[in-house]
Amino acid sequence: EKLDSMTFVLFGATGDLAKRKIFPTLYNLFLDNKLPDPFAVIALGRKNFSSQAFRLHVLESLKIFSRRFPENTDSTETFLQMIHYHSLNATDNQGYLKLVDYIKHLETVLRIPENRLFYLSMAPEFIDTVTSNIKKSGLDSINGWKRLVIEKPFGFDLSSAQNLNNKLGNAFDEAEIYRIDHYLGKSMVQNLEVLKFANPMFQDIWNKENISNVQITASETVGVEERADYYDQAGAIRDMFQNHMLQILMMTAMQQPKKLNSKEIRKEKLKVMEALQPLQKENICSSIIRGQYEAGAINGIPVKGYREEPGVESLSKNDTFIAAKVLINHPAWYGVPFYIRTGKRMKEKSTRIVIEFKKKLSIVDAKDSDKTIPNLLTIEVNKEGISLQLNIKNPETNKIEPASFSFSANNGNTPAEYELLLYDVFRGNSTFFAHWKEVELAWKWVQPALEAFEKSDCPLHTYPAGSLGPVAADQLLKHDGFKWW
């Protein structure tokens, strides 16, 4: 596919995300011949660097964080030469005017048309300042196209997200905004479309007639790491649930779009969000379970409790675990519970979607039917595999036994999430980015929970580090006659 030539204007180029993800991603796309040509990166940061000095920093981070690092130094050098450092204090209005001159100069010298991609890898409080300055300075008065890529967090609650979006709307159209949710960049999440809609055997049974419940899990073994400042305010509900988990829910529950294009897919995803049964005051605490880890051990190694972690308030009531039961008032899904859970410091790192089918074994006689298990379709998001559990009669024993068929999509070196996502930005394809309406409805859905948590209306359950989460999360399913798989 021929990509438009463009300039990639990176705000926050000296930051952590740029170092760990953005430069290694661009480098891997370069190795795969998936960068536009010509292409220039304008790396913006407050510090003073020459381009040459900055390139050496980038080189160091590629060595550490790139999934590939070929020996051929010539090609690495070619890549590094595309990076141009320019110092800018994001709050200095005059600086943006100088940036305009600088971009124009590069565009002329490198013969790049005025297509400008602005990537904001900065703390959320800068988003407004930067986008309004892009507009005021005329950085966006161009003959070509402009695009804006932004990272989460997208707001702190419903009203702050709406506020932020209004501000963005002053400088960019919705169609120009690419909100990264890296879970949408996971190949198995993208694969859901194909799995559901390219296989008639699933296509026709993806509904309440055949599915008894759906379970979405994202468990992590890491704790709060060095991010207490952010995490102790955000909690699992904002950090994972409002964005990643609800995006997986949309991708799992959406019905077949008219076409597999961005517009139609987003339309179907939105139908899921519009149909989510809102949390009612009286059932918030029974539909959403919040937990916090206590001291425990992971793989035999003792770890601290959340409240003992550096930077965390000693009496913090923040959630490090969330489990929720979600119902979708859509004709395809009436009565089918979707259980979602996510937590830090759990037993294993695992992101998976389990579809539990209804038991319909009327022909098998009752005594055997007890021994059958429901059909399960498991999508391993992180391990990149799919497995299907069926009931089979073992020819040796003549008894019904579960048999599992699995497929692993992972050959050990698949493109990382950001590679898929950034390539889509280059192509102008926004299918796997969060649309504002999705984000807004996701905030609307969690808002009553945020308020209940704030007032400590719901109990904060505890769980030992290294466990599967609080007991209350098991009861959430037990109550309906199910269990977590």
Q: What residue numbers does the annotated binding site for NADP(+) cover?
A: 12-19, 46, 152
Annotated binding site: 12-19, 46, 152, 182, 186, 220, 239, 344, 349
Least separation in angstroms between CB 259 and ligand BG6:
29
Nearest to 355 by CA among 213, 200, 465: 213
**Closer CB to ligand BG6, residue 356 or residue 417?**
417
Q: What are 113's two structure tokens?
A: 């048309």
Least separation in angstroms between CB 331 and ligand BG6:
32
Nearest to 426 by CA among 13, 172, 117, 9: 117
Distance CA 343, CA 336 (A): 23
- Out of 57, 84, 244, 435, which one is annotated catalytic? 244
**Closer CB to ligand BG6, residue 107 or residue 220?**
220
Least separation in angstroms between CB 220 and ligand BG6:
5
Q: If DSSP states are collapsed to H, E and C, what string results for the chain?
A: CCCCCEEEEEECCCCHHHHHHHHHHHHHHHHCCCCCCCEEEEEEECCCCCHHHHHHHHHHHHHHHCCCCCCCHHHHHHHHCCEEEEECCCCCHHHHHHHHHHHHHHHHHHCCCCCEEEEECCCHHHHHHHHHHHHHHCCCCCCCCEEEEECCCCCCCHHHHHHHHHHHHHHCCHHHEEECCHHHHCHHHHHHHHHHHCCHHHHCCCCCCCEEEEEEEEECCCCCCCCHHHHHHHHHHHHHHHHHHHHHHHHHHCCCCCCCCHHHHHHHHHHHHHHECCCCHHHHHHHEEEEEEECEEECCEEECCHHHCCCCCCCCCCCCEEEEEECECCCCCCCCCEEEEEECCECCCEEEEEEEECCCCCCCCHHHHCCCCCCEEEEECCCCEEEEEEEEEECCCCEEEEEEEEEECCCCCCCCHHHHHHHHHHHCCCCCCCCHHHHHHHHHHHHHHHHHHHCCCCCEEEEECCECCCHHHHHHHHCCCCCCC
**Closer CB to ligand BG6, residue 176 or residue 309?**
309
Least separation in angstroms between CB 186 and ligand BG6:
7
**Closer CB to ligand BG6, residue 277 or residue 382?**
382
Least separation in angstroms between CB 44 and ligand BG6:
23
**Closer CB to ligand BG6, residue 220 or residue 419?**
220
User: Cα–Cα distances in Å, from 99 out to 45, 96, 138?
Assistant: 12, 5, 10
Task: State the amino acid at position 26 in one-letter form.
Answer: L
Q: Which residues bind ligand BG6 (CB under 6 A)?
A: 182, 218, 220, 239, 351
Distance CA 80, CA 52 (A): 9
Q: Is 479 a catalytic residue?
A: no
**Closer CB to ligand BG6, residue 351 or residue 467?**
351
- Closest CB to ligand BG6 belongs to which residue? 239
Least separation in angstroms between CB 165 and ligand BG6:
19
**Closer CB to ligand BG6, residue 182 or residue 196?**
182
Least separation in angstroms between CB 225 and ligand BG6:
8
Least separation in angstroms between CB 17 and ligand BG6:
11
Annotated binding site for substrate: 182, 186, 220, 239, 344, 349
**Closer CB to ligand BG6, residue 140 or residue 181?**
181
Distance CA 97, CA 420 (A): 33
Q: Which residues are catalytic?
A: 244
